[in-house]
Copies of this chain bind each other. A is one copy, B any other.
Amino acid sequence: MNHQKPAAPVPGGGGFLRIRLDLSYDGGPFSGWAVQPGLRTVQGVLEEAIQLLVRRAVRVTVAGRTDAGVHARGQVVHLDLTEAEWLGLPRGHELDPAVAMLRRLRGALNRALGDLPGAVEVHAVTLAPEGFDARFSALWRRYSYRIADGPALWDPLERYFTLWHKNPLDVELLNQGASQLLGLQNFLSFCKPREGATTIRELQRFEFRRGEDGVIVATVQADAFCHNMVRALIGSALYVGEGAVEPGWLYERLLLQKRDAKSVLAAPHPLVLEEVAYPSDGELLARAEQTRAVRDSPAAP
């Protein structure tokens, strides 16, 4: 997919250009992604930086809203700028507007970040192709979750993004249980549901792998996630990995379709949004329309 080509104006955008940002952040010092009055959030800092650049309040739309303490390596947002704003950013003759905005945005971000330099890094600024919507065009989101299952694996340098789990986990049991949840399912048992919205999602990957350093990394990929879904999946899987319950217990929980006292959320700090995937340029708009229709449908009975 080539995001570098000149974009046509966004349909209905009234001459606005749609800009895509790719960014990473350390979620530790933030109260999550979404703007909240009086709290430091990633969206808040990013929008403050953009306002420093274009002298106007600009709202961004995010691919994956992350909870407090959750990190991102492959977050994607879009925002709309006027052509004057896009071309008006100070730049040398050799720079295209995207490169100019990337440089200026880095500086503005570090001003907005204050005592947290480097906690948010924008890795790419591109003119989005026609029909691009960071949230609704996405095909899938992939998260990782790091677990050091035993004190011998507890590396102080990695404690801010690794679960320190006391009991050893059996990766084979974890995968047996996790694989049964794959496919299009109603994840109500693993979601904090939103009024009137579906909890049906397509879980495409849910697997655990022990790396060379001995640390287990879970990979969880779905078309989209409902609120708390990854942490609820991991939290339940830990019971399986410890051997406290049979691997089939995860699927039994899914079939129950309810949240109860056994619904546990794993800690947020080991969770990282790694990647958001989009279809080829020609399919962006169709994908966005399809997603909007499905996501707003009421929950299945």
Contacts and interface: CB of A to CB of B under 8 A. Distances in A.
A161 B161 CA distance: 13
A223 to B, nearest CB: 26
A71 B160 contact: no
Given A118-B164, A121-B151, A164-B118, A26 B71 contact: no
A156 B24 contact: yes
Interface in A185-223: none
Interface string A165-196: 00000000000000000000000000000000
A160 B160 CA distance: 10
A159 interface: yes
Nearest to A71: B157
Given A123-B151, A123-B152, A151-B123, A157 B73 contact: yes
Interface string A92-126: 00000000000000100000000000111101000
Number of copies: 2
A127 interface: no
Contacts of A24: 154-157
B118 A159 contact: yes
A106 B156 contact: no
A19 interface: no
A25 interface: yes
Contacts of A71: 156-157
A156 B25 contact: yes
B73 A155 contact: yes
Interface residues of A, number: 22
A128 interface: no
Contacts of A152: 123
B272 A156 contact: no
A250 B73 CA distance: 36
A68 to B, nearest CB: 16
A154 B121 contact: yes
A106 B155 CA distance: 14
Interface in A120-156: 120-121, 123, 151-152, 154-156
Contact of A156 (B121, B155, B157, B159): B121
B121 A157 contact: no
Nearest to A272: B157
Interface of A: 24-26, 71, 73, 106, 118-121, 123, 151-152, 154-157, 159-161, 164, 272
Given A73-B155, A73-B157, A121-B156, 8 more contacts: A24-B157, A26-B157, A26-B159, A71-B156, A118-B156, A119-B159, A121-B155, A157-B160
